């Protein structure tokens, strides 16, 4: 999806109209000079054409924004999983405290430093 967004004509796109003998038809114009991105001319369906053109116009900016938000959420999930892994490691290292408690504490501290590096 991201690749298709990047390959599409730059946005934002704007909704326009074209008047002809047959009526007024919606157009979707790019954010750069040039021909329309798409033109609707289904005679007898002006409301449907306008709704479709409006949808397409907004999709050019909406979809990249949604993809950015999904990437951010994915990053948060990965970060949360790393934290959960760190806690699981701590739990595992602390199960056998016994006589080696000081060694375990050092291992825990070292492992936590490794896991949290760069946060």
The pair of structure tokens assigned to 3 is: 């690749």
pLDDT of residue 102: 62
Rounded Cα gap, residues 98 and 42, in angstroms: 80
* pTM, full prediction: 0.60
Domain locations in the chain as residue ranges: 2-116
Residue 9: count of CB within 10 angstroms of its CB: 14
Q: What is the DSSP letter of 109?
A: H
Q: Consecutive 10-residue runs of the chain (119 residues): their mean pLDDT?
A: 88 86 84 82 78 92 91 85 78 61 68 69
pLDDT of residue 97: 56
Give 52: exposed, middle or buried? Use CB within 10 Å, 0-12, 13-18, 19+.
middle
């Amino acid at each position: 999806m991201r690749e298709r967004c990047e390959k599409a004509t730059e946005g934002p796109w704007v909704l326009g109209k074209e008047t002809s003998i047959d009526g007024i038809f919606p157009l979707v114009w790019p954010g750069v000079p040039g021909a329309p991105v798409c033109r609707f001319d289904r005679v007898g369906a002006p409301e449907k054409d306008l709704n479709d053109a409006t949808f397409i116009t907004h999709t050019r900016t909406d979809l990249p924004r949604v993809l950015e938000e999904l990437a951010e959420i994915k990053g948060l999930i990965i970060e949360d999983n790393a934290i959960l892994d760190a806690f699981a490691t701590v739990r595992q290292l602390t199960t056998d405290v016994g006589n080696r408690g000081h060694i375990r504490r050092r291992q825990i501290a070292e492992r936590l430093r490794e896991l949290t590096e760069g946060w």
